[in-house]
Structures are given as structure tokens and as C-alpha cells.
Structure 1
Amino acid sequence: MDFSFMSVVWLGTPLWLWASFFALVIAILSFDLGILHKENKEINVAESVKLSAFYIALGLSFGGFVWWYLGAESGLAYMTGFVVEKTLALDNVFVIALIFSFFAVPRIYQHRVLFWGILGVIVLRAIMIGVGATLVAEFSWVLYIFAAFLVFTGIKMLVMKEAEPNVSDNALVRFMRSRFNVTEEHHGERFFVKLVNPKTGKMTWFITPLFMALVMVEVADVIFAVDSVPAIFAITTDPFIVYTSNIFAILGLRALYFALAAMIHRFRYLKPALAVVLIFIGSKIFVADLLGLEKFPAALSLGVTFAIIASGVVWSLVKTKEEQLPA
């Protein structure tokens, strides 16, 4: 069989490299669902930490491969995107916790929602990144719009107090409840269930709160992608680096959730650091132009990004610990 077509370059990267990446992702998800979580069970904090470490190591190892095969600049861009996306995911964890709490999703079924949510994320991010890559390739000035948007978003995060999302007042929740048959209680791990409709007396398909939680998790990711996708394009315009760094950062979100959900309050002061990171990533495109540089140095970009995030994490942990100490 002739596999010469695998050497064809697609979106700037050989097709075999894309195929290898997707094969690896499928293998990881199959291992996760088919072996680690073949049966529904609660994921405790210890298991969550171990799984998180595994996914982080996997993401960093892939970054090492990118560095070795595509060069240091691509490797640094991947690492920067991975770190930024992983940190932005902390906000996502907070919103997911609110969604699970509102729909009273039993802890034993939360992994199921997150797993299928990740599958949706892989497809949705591919679409958003594909559109972004096309726009940047056709209209280079779009990159400056992305950069300005990041600076604006970062400043807004610093100066404005963000209100806690109100899931009960969400338009999508109201729409689903008004247009579809929705059960009030959970039916195990099922997203859909056939029950007698009290209005017609006939057997009818109902959606369960578990499915509504899944829809809300997907929508939350799309909203967060509005920040993260422009951020990674401001780091690199290589579609392969953009997509792989995003997906490897998100793959471990399920495991990370169970470790962070119980201690998300300890990262209360991390948001200002995230805001500064967005401002830095957006502004470095304009700084590079002012200095007459073709690109902002990748090593400096990674170093500054990591330093800001690390400072935010340390400051947050110290401040929240002080608040918990008795007066």
C-alpha cells in the first residue's frame, strides 16, 4: 500500500504528523474510558493528582518532541501555549463546579460529563482554530485585532469586579427547559431517558439534568475559547502548534478538575496574574513592531509568562493561607 500521501504538507505540517497526533489522542481517551474508568466511580483527590501529573507529563513530553522535530522556536511556542491554556483552564474549573452544583450532578457521574465534554472540545477547538488560522493567513492584520482584544480583556479583568455566573438565570437553561422534555431528577449515568409524558400519557424521550450539565460545560468552553484561542495565535500562527498545545492542555482538565474543585478558593488571587499574562501576550506583538523585530523572542515570552503565572500562584496560596489563620 502506498503511504506517500502521508508526506503531503497540510496546514504547514506533514500529514503523518497530524495523523500521529490524532492517533495518540484517541489512544489516550480509549485508555482513559476503556481501562481507567470502565465503570463509573468517584475520583478521589489522590487519583486526580496522579492523573493530572500523568497528563501534564504527557503534554510536556509532546512539547519535547515538537522541540526536537520542529525546532527550538516551535518547541518554545508550544510550551508557552500549553502553560497559558493550562492556567486559563483554572477559570473553567470554577465554572464547571458551579454547573455541577446547580444541576446536583453526583460526583460518581461527573467524570462521564467531563469525558464527553472533552470530545466536544476537541471538535469545537478544531473549528475555531481552523477559522482563526484561515483569517490570519488571508488577513494578517487580524492578528493585531486578536492582540488588541487580549490587552482589552486583560485590563477589563484587572479593573472590573467579575460577578459570579448565575446558572439558574442562564438563557440556554431556560430555553432547554421550555422547548424540551426535561426530567427533574437524574437517571443514573443516562443523558436521555424514555418516560411517560404526563401531558399526553405516551412514552416520550426526555433529557436529563446530566445532559443539560454537559451542554452547559460545552458552552462554557466556547466562551473561554474566546480568550484562549486569540492568546495562542498571539504566541504562534502555526496551526499545528496552536491546536496541539490547546488539546494537550485540555486533555488533563478532567483529572485536574477533581483535584482543584475542592481547593479552588486557594487560587482566588490568580485572576490578576492571568490578566497580566493576557496583556503581555497581546502587547508583545506591538512591542515587536516598535522594536523592529520580526517576532518577539520565544524564550523571553515563555520565561515572562511562566514567571507571571508562578508569582500569581504563590501569591494566591500565601494570601489564602493567611486568611485561614486564626486572628
Structure 2
Amino acid sequence: MNVPLWLWLATIGGLLALVAVDLVIVDRKPHRVSTGEAARWVIFYISCAVVFGAAVWMLGGHDPGVEFFTGYITEYSLSVDNLFIFMVIMSSFKVPAIHQHRVLLIGILLALVMRGAFIAVGAALIAQFVWIFFVFGAVLVWTAVSMVRNKGGHEEYHENAVTRWVRKVFPVTEDYVGHKSMVRRDGKRWLTPMFVVIVAIGSADLLFAVDSIPAIFGITQDAYLVFAANAFALMGLRQLYFLLGGLVTKLVYLSYGLATILGFIGAKLFLHALHEYHVVPDWLEINNWLSLGVIVAVLTVTTLASLYKARKDPDAVGGTNLMLDAEAPEERATRAEATGVAPSSER
């Protein structure tokens, strides 16, 4: 699609407006996000994506419309795997449940900015070099194999280089200070664990972009659609975190399903590159209708098979619910600070 600058600006402005509404409504008073509240927000963000996709379909044509919906479903399904590491990070940093939404929101916004840069670079490479499709395809196939070999390897979190650098360069307080990311003590500025966990969430999601960005470029090479699909998938991700909770651990076959999707798109990229070099006939290239059908079918089978397996064999469910269900003493203190109501033990 030929997307004018004003449409780019309008889309980014609309996404920022959604973030502002989210901040005002959800984070106006720190609280534990309930399942019902999360479900309403998930429905809201999915509805926004559907309305956007319908507008693309009507104004840009059915091909861009199919590309957006296929890309959105792919990105959203891949982002479910992110929830495992998000839960582990939240548990490792002992983030109070009333502040987890803010951590996810800011961390994902940082990831979206960084993904925007990745998308710009990827679009520029695709415009100049056809062989880059072979590279993207190889990345996806390698990631698919790694996901199958390392399935269930989310139980432990080890701080990455970015997080370790933050701790090394800046002093970090031992405890949380409400939802503050930075405090001043004895005339010196300190970071709080809230800042560090935001960096951990943002940098972890950026690593996931290594496979999700090539995956969506295997569906569409339109940078606008790539960005929009990523944005809507990320915007709804944090509410999905609270909605699914421990249910994510029951998706025992998720790694196999996502690996199948990545391998399929990797093969599609190889075929597309060969087609560009006139090595294979036109009929051998995979169209977006087939891509959409395969992705939806794989996700459906994976989810149903996982839930059936979890019900028949509870021992097959790996790990436990890593979300902080029990309100720890420090969380009660944080809640008291946020609401002005002292814990019952202190009254």
C-alpha cells in the first residue's frame, strides 16, 4: 500500500491515545487487575484491531486486509510465548501485583519503539536485497528448531546484559518504593527495582522480535501493516497476561504449534526468494489465504490438544502459576501507601 505520512502520524497518534486512556482508567489507582477487567480490555483491544483491519480491507483492498489479519494473528500468537518469560520475570523480581500492569505497559511501549526501529531496518533491507528473505527464513527455521528442543525452558530467569549493565552503572534500592522508578536519598539519585524490571521486560520482548519481525515480513512486506500488526498485538498483550494467568502453563503443546508456524513461514520466505530469482514457478508460491488458514488451523489444534492433555494428565502441565496470587507483606504495604488504608495488622 502507498501510505501517506499523515496516515502514519494518525495511526501513531491513535495508538498513543489508547495508551493514554489505558493509563488514566487502569493506572489511575494502582490495583490488582481482576480476570473480568482483563477480559474486557482484551475484548476491547481485539475489537480495535478488527476495526482497523476492516478499515484496511475496505480502503486498501482485500489483499492488504488479509495481510494485516494474518500478520496480527501471527504476532499475537507468538506473543503468547512471551507471557511465560514475563511471568518468570515478575516472579523473580517479586513485583507487587498492583503494579504489574504499569510495568508491562511501560516495558511494552519501550519494546514497541525498538521494534519500530527493527521494522524500518527490515523494510529497507527487503527493498534493496532479495537475498535477505533467505536470511529471515533461516532465522525462523532455526528458531522453530530451538523452540522444540528447548520447550518448557522458562522456569528460571537470568538477567540479560542490558539489565546487568543498569545495575552496574546505577545504584539500585533494595526495596520497591510504590510505583516510583527513581528516588532521591541522601542527595543521591537511586533507581528502584521497578525501573530494573521495566528494562528486563522491554529487553526480553526485544529478543522475541528477532523471530516475530522476520515472521511477519514473511506475510507482508508493507512496513505500515507490519508496524500496525505488531502494535495491536503488543497493546493487547499485557491484558492477556492477567486474563490467562496460570492457564498459559496448560498450553503444553504451544511450543510445537508456534514452531510449526515459524517453520511454515520460513519455508514461505525461501519459496518467495526463489520465486524472485525465477527459480520456481508462480504456482509454487504460498498465498496469504493459505497462510491465514494454516496459522488458524495450527493454533486451534494446538490449543485444543493442550487443554485436553492438561485435563487428562495434570502432571504434564509444566511449572506452576508464576503470577503473584498471594499478597505478600511488602505488597500490602505498597497497597496501603497507594490507597491510604493501613493493613489490618497495623490498625
TM-score normalised per structure 1: 0.89
Q: Structure 2 CA distance, aligned partners of 1:163 and 1:93?
A: 13
Deviation at 1:20, TM superposition (A): 2.1
Residue 226 of structure 2: aligned partner: 242
Contact 2:125 2:132 in 1 (8 A): yes
Q: How does 1:136-285 map to 2 (within 5 A)?
A: 136-161=126-151, 163-164=153-154, 166-168=156-158, 170-196=160-186, 203-285=187-269
TM-score normalised per structure 2: 0.84
Deviation at 1:35, TM superposition (A): 2.9
Contact 1:102 1:167 in 2 (8 A): yes
Q: Structure 1 CA distance, aligned partners of 2:111 and 2:17?
A: 17
Contact 2:111 2:203 in 1 (8 A): no
Residue 50 of structure 2: aligned partner: 60
Q: Displaced runs of 4+ in structure 1, greater than 6 A?
A: none
Deviation at 1:233, TM superposition (A): 0.5
Q: Structure 1 CA distance, aligned partners of 2:203 and 2:15?
A: 22
The amino acid across from 2:312 in the alignment is E
Q: Structure 1 CA distance, aligned partners of 2:162 and 2:110?
A: 17
Deviation at 1:74, TM superposition (A): 0.7
Q: 2:7 aligns with which of 11, 17, 20?
A: 17
The amino acid across from 2:237 in the alignment is L
Deviation at 1:293, TM superposition (A): 4.3
Residue 86 (1) aligns with residue 76 (2): yes
Residue 308 of structure 2: aligned partner: 318
Which secondary structure does the structure 2 equivalent of 1:206 belong to?
strand
Residue 62 of structure 2: aligned partner: 72
Which secondary structure does the structure 2 equivalent of 1:167 belong to?
coil
Deviation at 1:178, TM superposition (A): 3.1
Deviation at 1:130, TM superposition (A): 0.3
The amino acid across from 1:244 in the alignment is A
Contact 1:183 1:206 in 2 (8 A): yes
Deviations 1:72-96 (A, max 9, x none): 1111111111011101111111111
Q: Residues 141 and 253 (structure 1 numbering): CA distance in 2 closer, same or farther, change over 3 Å? A: same
Residue 102 (1) aligns with residue 92 (2): yes
Deviations 1:98-157 (A, max 9, x none): 111111110001111111123212211110100100111111211221012212221232
Deviations 1:192-222 (A, max 9, x none): 01113xxxxxx21111111110000010111
Contact 1:85 1:249 in 2 (8 A): yes
Contact 1:48 1:258 in 2 (8 A): yes
Segments of structure 2 that go 5 or more residues without pairing to the other structure are: 316-347
Cα RMSD after superposing both structures: 1.9
Percent of aligned pairs sharing the same letter: 37
Q: 2:34 aligns with which of 39, 44, 49?
A: 44
Contact 2:30 2:99 in 1 (8 A): yes
Q: 2:295 aligns with which of 305, 309, 312?
A: 305
Q: Structure 2 CA distance, aligned partners of 1:118 and 1:265?
A: 21
Contact 1:167 1:173 in 2 (8 A): no
Deviation at 1:254, TM superposition (A): 1.4
Deviations 1:252-284 (A, max 9, x none): 111111112232211122110000000001102
The amino acid across from 2:142 in the alignment is F
Contact 2:42 2:240 in 1 (8 A): yes
Contact 1:147 1:230 in 2 (8 A): yes
Deviation at 1:161, TM superposition (A): 4.5
